[in-house]
Structure 1
Amino acid sequence: MAACLSGLALATAFPAQAEMKPTLSFRGVPGVIDMPSGESQPDGTFSMSASHFGGIRRGALSFQISSRVAATYRFERVGDWNALFPGDSSTYEGKSFDLRFTLLEETDSLPSVTLGLQDVFNTGKDGAEYIAATKTFGDRLKVTAGVGWGRLGSYGSMGSPFGARPVSDFGLGGKPEPENWFAGPAAAFAGVEWKINDAWTVKAEYSSDAYAEYAGTRDVFERDSPLNFGVEYSRGRFFKAGLYSLYGSEIGLSFQLVLDPKTAIAPGGRAPVAIGKRPSRSADPEAYDGGWVTQPDAGTVLQANLAKRLAVDGIRVEGLAYSPGKAQLRIRSTRAEPEAQVIGRVARAMSHVMPASVEVFEIVPVAQGIGVSKITVRRSDLEALEHIAGNHAAIRDRVVISDAGPVPEGLVFPEDRYPKFTWSLKPALRLSSSLKGDAGLRLRGTYEIQPGLILGGSVYQTLTGRPAADPATPGPLPPVRSRSAEYLENGEPALESLTLAWYARPAENFYSRVTVGYLETMHAGISAELLWKPVDSRLALGVEVNHTKQRDTDGGFGFGEFDYEVTTGHVSAYYDFGRGYSGQLDVGKYLAGDVGATLSLDREFANGWRFGAFATLTDASDEEFGPGSFDKGIRVTIPLDWLMGRKAGNSVSRTFRPYSSDGGARLNVSGRLYETIRDYQGNELDDQWGSFWR
């Protein structure tokens, strides 16, 4: 993967690490060379890897969901799959998901032990199960031993301790077959790693994978030995590259990029200024005189001073309302900073700018022109608690987080706030689930007419690369997604979206959105949404209704190519489990007319990193859905602030599926309400309140 190669330059900024951290196998999971190990990555770790040997290319994305559970998405491409048949140069492409469970963490006397399910959804040719144990001796030697079934039990069988393995009814694939797990022949594998110094490691392993179809039936490569050897070079804490001798006949290469979302690459932001301290009322009673509110230019001056102080932290002033004793400042952050830190920075700025008579600060974060919460801070609490021990908990006990409420009378907007036009032209990269993609330019424009009323759109022009979609054969269902590759191939340039959106707060705890226009690359129409989300509740409920028509594949304004339109809708429940974990259940009708439900689970970090998995089951049959049987996948969001070492507030998101089809497809309308308003509400702020004073 290109990201792994570019990671070498990124890693040179960091010193080498002495300890023996887990390395990745050729399948992208913690392992020795081609075999897994019993180790796990630290909680939250995200890794990307690429490997090649014997005509087999693999790319993998792995995420340590918790300290004991990890998931991996892997893509494999094998050239000359039918090499034994002259004139047939077809290529095999397979995608699979793995799950790993840490059964035992390493201690001074015990090894770490992991149970793994390889290709758990039965989507490719990689199905296997294993139990592996790894023990570290000192800071240089590491030994792994394990037992595998399926692919990993195909060489050197020790018998079938749990009975015969049923014949796999692969069919359309995509469904777990738990009756096969740990059944059939079992075989042992083992490996050893020796860390020569902080940069170089040598490895050797005994493999229990016979590669029966690859090296036998297909003759992709010759498997002359179960022994593999390798040497790896580490640069910094992120990057590794390796050179290997595999199976007695092949030379292999691997690249690994291991990232920790909890540890920022970007340098720390600007150090916070101290709280502005007021003189005592007895020492300077005139400073507390509220007569300043009668000055005609008071709002303009205060607003300009606040905007200047907050601009250095990427915080924009959206409006200011005030009285002698209270001020409400509406703000919007343009960076991927922890939300509690943003609130703390705003409170500091207000302590320096607002006259001494203002005791109560109301900070209202704004998203899409609407207030999403109100954080009320007493100025005297800021002054008293700044330097005491445990000041984070102390200030949280006195801060009130409540519904944003209506726009206050007398709210003054910055002179240049509405209407406002912004635009950008930036390089862009689109990736498919097969880890192929194209690079191009994306032109975005936004015209904010008034609070909550936004006209926006984007145009994409491909510059180089392959279409960022996997070709799919349309089945019995309407081709609402299966022809996505045609949209990417034919649209140059392509109008991705052109919409008018209206956001509002129809009542306390309620939020609404109506979006009309070219909603996404493939569909245009109207989308309406209503969300109930109390600011202090972990639960939110929503309903969405859409009526759309399928667009032509040329990326223009036409609709004549398909003559397909549909009304869809979902009822949704959202729940915040705390500590960055959240879940979502959507029940309703999808774009192809099928009816069912989608369950999603996500983990999000304060700096904007996000990982999630989802599965959709509908009344579309396996045959109607096609390969994969039902829709499922993982999604990743990476903040560019973190990755590029600069503060820009941008991120890149991608969803990876083993198969793309028309069943379970939902409209890709942007700006859905829950993700728009949740960041500055009670539970989200509480999860990272420790950053308030930073």
Structure 2
Amino acid sequence: MPGFHNGKSGLVRRVALAGTILSALGGAVRAEEGVNSLPFNLYGSPGLVDMPTAQVPPDATLAGTYAHFGGTSRTTLYFQILPRLSGTFRYSAIENFTANNGTLFDRSFDLRYQLLTETERRPSVVVGIQDFIGTGIYSGEYLVASKTVYPGLTLTGGLGWGRYGSYQPFGNMGTRPGKITNQGGLPEIDRFFRGDVAAFGGVSYSPNDRYTFKVEYSSDDYVDEVQRGTSKKSSPWNFGVDYRFKNGGQLSLYHVLGTEIGAQFTFVTNPKTLGVPGGTEPSGLPVAPRAPGSAADLGWTLDSQRSASVTASLKNLAAKEGLEVEGIDLQSNRVTVRLVNPKYGAPSQAFGRLARVMTRVMPASVEVFEIVPVVNGMAMSAVTFRRSDLERLEHDAANEMLARTNFGDGFGKAPPPDDGIYPKFTWAISPFVQLSVFDPDNPVRFDAGLRASAEYEITPNLIASGSITKKLTGNLDKVKRLDKSNLPRVRTDHARYSEEGDPAIEYLQLAHYGRPAKNVYSRVTLGYLEQMYAGASAELLWKPVNSRLALGAELNYIQRRDFDQLFGLQSMTTTDPVTGVKREIPNVNGHVSAYYAFGNGFHGQLDVGRYLAGDYGATVALDREFANGWRVGAYATFTDASFEDFGEGSFDKGIRFTMPLATFFGQPSRRRNDVLIQSLSRDGGARLNVNGRLYEQVRDYHKPDAVNSWGRFWR
């Protein structure tokens, strides 16, 4: 997984990469005071200076660090996946590390697991595997124990292998294979806990909640860095001091290796405890209780003007709450409402606000309220309340109302939209930024400019949409190296698309969404589907409203677009710029998919099928989603394309984050920012990028997801 850069790499570009990743995830996060109670080391994990500790931050802690010392820079993202399990992604730059004294850019992943929690009598014990699918530059394993012996005073001791066993080893546990692999991206299981074993340890002291002082004895001899002149070492003793800011940031200064001065910045937040987005919006209308005995009055049913007045009042009050009522079926004891929710990221908040509005305008005889949320013309669920429960439980916990709420399939239950609502036309002009990270010749590339987008809803289910971009600045088109690929060039021509596509039609499509049967959803999309491909895409999804399981299938027929990203199409034959070999991109690709909500916010997805380059395989993804809309996840794709054919990185993988914009503005919003950090954009395991895939739209209004944010029902 390394990338080699000829010539000396400036610190500015590495700082740019760190800033890109850290600001994307933490720049606007409202960090909570006190979340950063543990120190993070130069590897971006809980630790002293360079050595790990067995301290474990709270569940769901998300931390980002940027560290620099000597000729080494490290940018790290840390996530506490479960109360005892954590994962780390690291991007490093090591100067003077290549044969021609160039800079080595390296990506690595770590896992840590807490074997024992700390008690009054025993220490916390953690086992860790560092750089376990990287190139082996930072490969090492450790078993470490930490114990707080006095408030603020923590002792740590451990055993290390690999890098952690390179200084003054006292034993040996078999033969450890060489450090640097040719492939990268593969788990090096035969190296785990093999080779020399050495001891490390240290102590940290926090006299208050702002400062932590640390000293450690390191078992890492920095053999390769010293041999190549990146660093100098004269002592195993390292020293550090941390200063924590009230907003969750941490600034650290270090003296390491006996010769080097280092510094590190850390931000820490916790999406689990940030709270549900919003909070500064006005409160919803209160419930209007009925007068005793009024529920028996059905006189209004004989007055057509009264019914029309009720409909108009409901639409007007709902609009003031930011909701769109498109149709109403009003009966003597029951009303069904067709709802479009453009505002609230928590569906429960939309349900609660509309239900309270309904208590204020519906005739007293109407006891049953049925709300059918509609997305792209598709009825999602039918959420049913009893009016008497709303009146009785308004001041009780939201869970009391949930226990009396019924979720059913919305198939065939949504009233038709009223006349005059469709067609609808919306448009927007906004800035855009396209990022490419981890290019071995330039860690950060980007294009920035303006995007004009529009959507024309011909009918509720038939939607024409598109967007055009105009680049104002950027360097995605400046890739100079010839990127060899042993597969059809389905993604590695991205630099040429960036170079010639200005202005560019990002996509221009006509999509039809439907409900062909109970529990079944459909999508058919035609047009210029994405930056590189036009064609047709069809999808079916089976998803019962109360089920955690969903099954789907997608079939695509594609044609490669011209590099200028306008209206032209080109041959499906690609030519490798290095070898001159021609390869055909298949026209047909697709997948069958399974989705499952495991509980505790974990969502899994498995896609099996044919990818753009014609390779067959599967993509496994796991995301953890929180009630406030934050999401942290990872994916990996394995296909029958050999690691040699795939090229650098061995297989497609990445980590991703979803940040609801309501977190930053304090107002309800369905808008969000998705951040994907990929190792490299290669041709193997590449998938078509289609707008409007069904699962994310559908699950939002089904019971397993809606109950996660039910605490917003009365907000």
State the shift of 1:358 in Å. Answer: 2.0
User: Kindly tell me: are residues 273 and 568 of structure 1, through their superposed partners in 2, closer, same or farther at Cα, counting changes over 3 Å?
Assistant: same
State the shift of 1:130 in Å. Answer: 1.1
Deviates more, 1:569-578 or 1:338-347: 338-347
Report Cα offsets for 1:29-72 as digits up to 9, x if no partner.
11222222212221112222111111222111221111111111
User: Kindly tell me: are residues 180 and 499 of structure 1, through their superposed partners in 2, closer, same or farther at Cα, counting changes over 3 Å?
Assistant: same
Deviates more, 1:71-80 or 1:511-520: 71-80
Contact 2:451 2:468 in 1 (8 A): yes
Deviates more, 1:630-639 or 1:91-100: 630-639
Aligned equivalents of 2:604, 2:486: Cα separation in 1 = 32
> Hey, what does 1:352 align to over in structure 2?
360
In the alignment, which of 308, 315, 320 is matched to residue 304 of structure 1?
Answer: 315
Equivalent position amino acid for 1:102 in 2: Q
Contact 1:573 1:584 in 2 (8 A): yes
Aligned equivalents of 1:145, 1:29: Cα separation in 2 = 16
Equivalent position amino acid for 1:59 in 2: T
Aligned equivalents of 1:50, 1:635: Cα separation in 2 = 19
SS in 1 for 2:312: helix
Deviates more, 1:242-251 or 1:645-654: 645-654
Deviates more, 1:348-357 or 1:575-584: 348-357
Work out whether 1:572 is the aligned partner of 2:593.
Answer: yes
In the alignment, which of 679, 699, 702 is matched to residue 658 of structure 1?
Answer: 679
> Hey, what does 1:554 align to over in structure 2?
564
Aligned equivalents of 1:484, 1:345: Cα separation in 2 = 46
In the alignment, which of 414, 419, 423 is matched to residue 424 of structure 2?
Answer: 419
Equivalent position amino acid for 2:437 in 1: S
State the shift of 1:6 in Å. Answer: 9.4
SS in 1 for 2:171: coil
Aligned equivalents of 2:114, 2:370: Cα separation in 1 = 46
SS in 2 for 1:94: strand
Question: Normalized against structure 2, the TM-score is what?
Answer: 0.88
Aligned equivalents of 1:431, 1:476: Cα separation in 2 = 22
Aligned equivalents of 1:166, 1:225: Cα separation in 2 = 27
> Hey, what does 1:50 align to over in structure 2?
66
Aligned equivalents of 1:370, 1:129: Cα separation in 2 = 51
Report Cα offsets for 1:200-235 as digits up to 9, x if no partner.
32222222222211221x211212222222222211
Contact 2:24 2:675 in 1 (8 A): no
Deviates more, 1:100-109 or 1:284-293: 284-293
State the shift of 1:277 in Å. Answer: 0.9
Work out whether 1:343 is the aligned partner of 2:348.
Answer: no
Work out whether 1:133 is the aligned partner of 2:145.
Answer: yes
> Hey, what does 2:555 align to over in structure 1?
545
State the shift of 1:79 in Å. Answer: 3.5
State the shift of 1:317 in Å. Answer: 3.2
Work out whether 1:394 is the aligned partner of 2:394.
Answer: no
Work out whether 1:192 is the aligned partner of 2:198.
Answer: no
User: Kindly tell me: are residues 417 and 555 of structure 1, through their superposed partners in 2, closer, same or farther at Cα, counting changes over 3 Å?
Assistant: same
Report Cα offsets for 1:495-521 as digits up to 9, x if no partner.
322221111111111100011122122
Matched ranges for 1:52-451 at <5 A: 52-82=68-98, 88=100, 90-160=102-172, 162-167=173-178, 170-216=181-227, 218-264=228-274, 268-270=279-281, 271-281=283-293, 289-295=300-306, 297-298=308-309, 301-311=312-322, 315-335=323-343, 337-388=345-396, 391-406=397-412, 408-409=414-415, 411-412=417-418, 415-416=420-421, 418-428=423-433, 430=435, 432-433=437-438, 436-438=444-446, 439-451=448-460
Aligned equivalents of 2:265, 2:477: Cα separation in 1 = 22
Contact 1:58 1:74 in 2 (8 A): yes
User: Kindly tell me: are residues 605 and 245 of structure 1, through their superposed partners in 2, closer, same or farther at Cα, counting changes over 3 Å?
Assistant: same
Equivalent position amino acid for 1:515 in 2: T
Aligned equivalents of 1:174, 1:335: Cα separation in 2 = 42
SS in 1 for 2:559: strand
Contact 1:289 1:357 in 2 (8 A): no
Aligned equivalents of 2:250, 2:712: Cα separation in 1 = 33
SS in 1 for 2:321: helix
Aligned equivalents of 1:621, 1:513: Cα separation in 2 = 33
Count of residues in Structure 1 that have an aligned counterpart in Structure 2:
679
State the shift of 1:488 in Å. Answer: 3.5
State the shift of 1:610 in Å. Answer: 1.1
> Hey, what does 1:492 align to over in structure 2?
502
User: Kindly tell me: are residues 523 and 412 of structure 1, through their superposed partners in 2, closer, same or farther at Cα, counting changes over 3 Å?
Assistant: same
User: Kindly tell me: are residues 192 and 490 of structure 1, through their superposed partners in 2, closer, same or farther at Cα, counting changes over 3 Å?
Assistant: farther
Work out whether 1:453 is the aligned partner of 2:459.
Answer: no
Equivalent position amino acid for 1:22 in 2: L
Deviates more, 1:674-683 or 1:191-200: 191-200
Contact 1:364 1:374 in 2 (8 A): yes
SS in 2 for 1:228: strand
SS in 2 for 1:458: strand
Contact 1:431 1:654 in 2 (8 A): no
> Hey, what does 2:48 align to over in structure 1?
32
Report Cα offsets for 1:589-628 as digits up to 9, x if no partner.
1000011112221111122211222222211112111222
Aligned equivalents of 1:165, 1:8: Cα separation in 2 = 38
Equivalent position amino acid for 1:445 in 2: A
State the shift of 1:248 in Å. Answer: 2.1
Equivalent position amino acid for 1:421 in 2: T
Work out whether 1:619 is the aligned partner of 2:651.
Answer: no
Work out whether 1:525 is the aligned partner of 2:531.
Answer: no
State the superposition RMSD in angstroms: 2.8
Deviates more, 1:271-280 or 1:596-605: 271-280
Contact 1:81 1:220 in 2 (8 A): yes
Aligned equivalents of 1:492, 1:347: Cα separation in 2 = 48
Contact 2:36 2:248 in 1 (8 A): no
Contact 2:477 2:496 in 1 (8 A): no
Contact 1:428 1:442 in 2 (8 A): no
Aligned equivalents of 1:124, 1:492: Cα separation in 2 = 41
State the shift of 1:129 in Å. Answer: 0.9
Give 5+ residue unaligned stretches, structure 2. 1-17, 574-584
Aligned equivalents of 1:560, 1:5: Cα separation in 2 = 39
Aligned equivalents of 2:615, 2:416: Cα separation in 1 = 50
> Hey, what does 1:667 align to over in structure 2?
688
Contact 2:36 2:268 in 1 (8 A): no
Deviates more, 1:97-106 or 1:341-350: 341-350
> Hey, what does 2:6 align to over in structure 1?
none
Question: Normalized against structure 1, the TM-score is what?
Answer: 0.90
Report Cα offsets for 1:278-315 as digits up to 9, x if no partner.
11225x8658733455447436522432333422xxx3
SS in 1 for 2:587: strand
State the shift of 1:28 in Å. Answer: 1.6
Equivalent position amino acid for 2:206 in 1: K
Contact 2:326 2:417 in 1 (8 A): no
Equivalent position amino acid for 1:684 in 2: D
